[in-house]
Amino acid sequence: MNVLLIGNGGREHAIAWKLAQSKNLGKLYIAPGNPGTAQCGKNIPIEASDIDKLVDFAKGNNIALVVVGPEDPLAAGAVDAFEAAGIKAFGPSGGAAQLEADKAFAKQLMRSSAVSSAEGQVFERFADAKAYIASRDAPVVIKAAGLAKGKGVFVCDDPSDGIVAAEKIMCDRIFGSAGNKIVVEDKLLGEEASILAFVDGRNIYVMESSQDHKAIGDGDVGPNTGGMGAYSPAPVVTGVMMDKIAREILVPVVDGMNRNGTPYKGVLYAGVMVTAGGPRVLEFNVRFGDPETQPILMRLKSDLLEIMLAVCDGRLDEVTLQWDPRPAVCVVMAAGGYPGEYEKGKIITGIAQAEKLEDVVVFHAGTAAKDANIVTNGGRVLGVTAMGQTIADAKAKAYEAVDKIKFDGAYCRRDIADKAIKRTI
């Protein structure tokens, strides 16, 4: 069976790597892909945003399943377009993708489904937002309501910083139309976890837990990024906590989406804060997380293609998910300057040496092939991922691999997985 995977990040390399192990895979095409996905299938030079061209390609190449990786084409209705052409597509409809693409929609859905998140209000005018923020004397979180590549959230311990953030989003339009509305929330305290589940409209199959590291600096300092590393499982999510998250968050949201007339199919990702009062939602994503997917799929033993088809056919209850019990850790190597300005085109060496280590996979994200070299081509460049007997072993092995890889200005956090290690000793 031929599959078309859309996207070009570390997440898509991990999905391609896993799909390539499927017993029923015929040809795998990735549009546009990266040098990592090119090792798993054939890259096709069509941008993820060019939905018409992608549909034509799928029609002309006997594609039985399309997998949409990133949020932008999902929100733009890619899945609807493939389905209208009679092709199965893994991911939510454009309407259902509003759960990520419009944080005001998500807030409303959580309210009507009695799902716990931070107290918050939506604003469409800066003057109103400013007056509200100024009236508060507690930390605030300011969020662009639209899609902003994981960078649209400002956690402000001082409300006056919140006013500056709201002004940047609503008046300076640093995220363009994604800043037409903002959500102003209370700051929640606790430890974060990423809970990803396969959903077929009705059935929910929760994956192993994971934890991202959003901030650029060790100890979670500095601005937020798309994610600087991740590990799975996350010990903060005990079995009891996972049951609570499924019961109090995932089930009501999937029910709420059905009631709303936007049934949910694909991967539902709940970013939760495990607070003293229980789990509370920080955000929903309508796709696999990046970089959480890298350690999660490294641990998945079951056939991903089979699971994705079951999701599309509404028969998720017929498959089982089996996991490697060993933990996995992914360290993101980024270009110096990210998440601000950074340069591209730096030659990367040492990937092959790193991959010689047992249970290590180097997932490509912002890379490109140039002459005989692999060069940097984005902010998050590589996701160096390792499994180990313990989380500490997996961390040590991931950094051993990282240290073999060199490029000008390479930056990574050095503390990925430390929170988990602390909980397990």
266 near ligand GLY, judged by CB under 6 A: no
Distance between CA 27 and CA 301 in Å, rounded?
Answer: 21
383 near ligand GLY, judged by CB under 6 A: no
Smallest gap, in angstroms, from Cβ of residue 366 to ligand AMP? Answer: 20
Binding positions for ligand GLY, 142-161, rule CB under 6 A: 150
Smallest gap, in angstroms, from Cβ of residue 410 to ligand GLY? Answer: 20
By beta-carbon proximity to ligand GLY, the closer residue of 150 and 263 is 150
Is 355 in a helix, a strand, or coil? helix
71 near ligand AMP, judged by CB under 6 A: no
Picked from ligand GLY, ligand AMP, none, the partner binding residue 165 (CB below 5 to 8 A depending on kind) is none
Distance between CA 390 and CA 394 in Å, rounded?
Answer: 6
User: Binding string to ligand AMP for residues 245 to 284, with x set by CB under 6 A, is what?
Assistant: --------------------------x----------xx-
Sequence-ordered list of residues with C-beta below 8 angstroms from that of 115, at least 6 positions apart, any chain: 109, 248, 249, 252, 253, 256, 281
Nearest Cα to Cα of residue 252 among 96, 109, 95 = 109
Nearest Cα to Cα of residue 229 among 332, 299, 367 = 332
Closest residue to ligand AMP, Cβ-based?
283
Size of the site for ligand AMP (CB under 6 A): 14
Tokens of 227: 């994610």
Is 197 in a helix, a strand, or coil? strand
β-strand partners of 185: 120, 141
Stretch that binds ligand GLY, among 101-109, 174-182, 287-295, 356-364 (CB under 6 A): 287-295
143 near ligand AMP, judged by CB under 6 A: yes
Picked from ligand GLY, ligand AMP, none, the partner binding residue 262 (CB below 5 to 8 A depending on kind) is none
Smallest gap, in angstroms, from Cβ of residue 103 to ligand AMP? Answer: 7
Picked from ligand AMP, ligand GLY, none, the partner binding residue 155 (CB below 5 to 8 A depending on kind) is ligand AMP
Is 158 in a helix, a strand, or coil? coil
Are 155 and 141 in contact by the 8 Å Cβ rule? The answer is yes
Smallest gap, in angstroms, from Cβ of residue 16 to ligand GLY? Answer: 17
For residue 233, is the peptide bond before it cis, meaning its omega torsion is within 30 degrees of 0?
A: yes
Candidate list 71, 102, 192, 200; residue touching ligand AMP; CB under 6 A: 192
Burial class (CB in 10 A: 0-12, 13-18, 19+), 64: middle
Tokens of 408: 């000008």
Tokens of 293: 């997917």
Distance between CA 283 and CA 331 in Å, rounded?
Answer: 23
224 near ligand AMP, judged by CB under 6 A: yes
Distance between CA 356 and CA 335 in Å, rounded?
Answer: 24
Picked from ligand AMP, ligand GLY, none, the partner binding residue 227 (CB below 5 to 8 A depending on kind) is ligand GLY
Smallest gap, in angstroms, from Cβ of residue 153 to ligand GLY? Answer: 10
Compute how many other C-beta atoms are within 10 angstroms of the C-beta atom of residue 140: 25
Whole-angstrom CA distances from 227 to 51, 57, 207, 413 are 27, 32, 19, 11
Is 26 in a helix, a strand, or coil? coil
Stretch that binds ligand AMP, among 15-23, 180-188, 203-211, 414-422 (CB under 6 A): 180-188
192 near ligand GLY, judged by CB under 6 A: no
By beta-carbon proximity to ligand GLY, the closer residue of 162 and 289 is 289
Stretch that binds ligand GLY, among 174-182, 199-207, 286-294, 305-313 (CB under 6 A): 286-294
Binding positions for ligand AMP, 295-314, rule CB under 6 A: none
Picked from ligand GLY, ligand AMP, none, the partner binding residue 80 (CB below 5 to 8 A depending on kind) is none
Angle between helices 304-313 and 10-19 (to 10 degrees): 100
How do strand 221-224 and strand 215-217 relate by DSSP bridges? antiparallel
Binding positions for ligand GLY, 288-307, rule CB under 6 A: 289-290, 292
Binding positions for ligand AMP, 198-217, rule CB under 6 A: 214
Whole-angstrom CA distances from 57 to 45, 50, 249 are 11, 11, 38
Distance between CA 393 and CA 288 in Å, rounded?
Answer: 25
Binding positions for ligand GLY, 33-92, rule CB under 6 A: none
Binding interface with ligand GLY (CB under 6 A): 150, 212, 227, 285, 289-290, 292
Which residues in this chain contact ligand AMP in the complex, by CB under 6 A? 118, 141, 143, 153, 155, 185, 187-188, 192, 214, 224, 271, 282-283
